[in-house]
Amino acid sequence: MNLRHIRVRLFYSLLTPISLYARSKRMRKFCGVFDINKHTTVLDLGGQAPIWDSVDKPLRIVILNLPGIAQKSHPTHHNIKFIEGDACNVVGIHGGQFDIIFSNSVIEHVGNADFRARFAQEVRRLGKSYWVQTPSRYFPIEPHNGMPFWWFWPQRLRASTIQRWKRSLPAWTEMVEGTDIVSKEEMLRLFPEAEIYVERVLGIPKSYTAFSVG
């Protein structure tokens, strides 16, 4: 195992408890914003079942993912159905079918600004309400690759670093390379009727969530 593999494993081992705490806190905020009950229907775009563990009330959840992505074996007290599809072009679901459209750290992975606009359009079309979260560029540690102040590096330096990573960690690097950052201003443009919840750690923005209660 080379040093890059060790660094990645160490980063994710250190990140896991922090991520679990942050997600639990975020989901408490989610439950406080929406009047959820056992009849509430949720469409989770690009998510996974574990994020719903901290929501005590059992919900009816549909998780949409690209083929082969969903972790279907996770035990849960929710009624979860898994479907495959493209979150930027959802077929087979009519507008307003779900009470809440939910998305956690997905919009930064869908592609360029055009794809993000399509994603936002689908979020606003499919549900009566929505909750869309994305990491902030200002948090000191980039949550996908563990590098400090990654989004403030010169583009040429980021590109050369990614090329070095590709030689030893191609699959992981593909995820990193396919990640963009979405600013608070862009979130406001994509979701004009939304409120923006700024999640902070020690006063530093960690993530932005656009939410609208229909």
Taking only the tens of pLDDT, the chain with its 214 residues reads 445 555 556 655 655 666 677 788 899 999 999 999 999 999 999 999 999 999 999 999 999 999 989 889 999 999 999 999 999 999 999 999 999 999 999 999 999 999 999 999 999 999 999 999 999 999 998 888 888 899 999 999 999 999 988 888 888 889 888 999 999 999 999 999 999 999 998 899 999 999 999 8
Closest to 52 in 3D by CA, of 83, 34, 75: 75
Asked whether residue 168 is domain-assigned, the answer is no
CB 103 within 8 A of CB 44: yes
Asked whether residue 10 is domain-assigned, the answer is no
Asked whether residue 12 is domain-assigned, the answer is no
Asked whether residue 30 is domain-assigned, the answer is yes
Q: Which domain covers residue 109, as residue numbers?
A: 19-141+181-212
Tokens of 146: 């563990």
Alpha carbon 22 to its chain's center: 13
CATH number reported for the structural domain that contains residue 128 in this entry = 3.40.50.150
* Structural domain total, the chain: 1
Asked whether residue 162 is domain-assigned, the answer is no
Q: Give the other-Cβ count within 10 Å of 41's Cβ.
A: 15
Asked whether residue 161 is domain-assigned, the answer is no
Its pTM stands at 0.89
Asked whether residue 172 is domain-assigned, the answer is no
Burial class (CB in 10 A: 0-12, 13-18, 19+), 90: buried
Asked whether residue 165 is domain-assigned, the answer is no
**CA–CA gap between residue 137 and residue 183 (Å, rounded):** 7
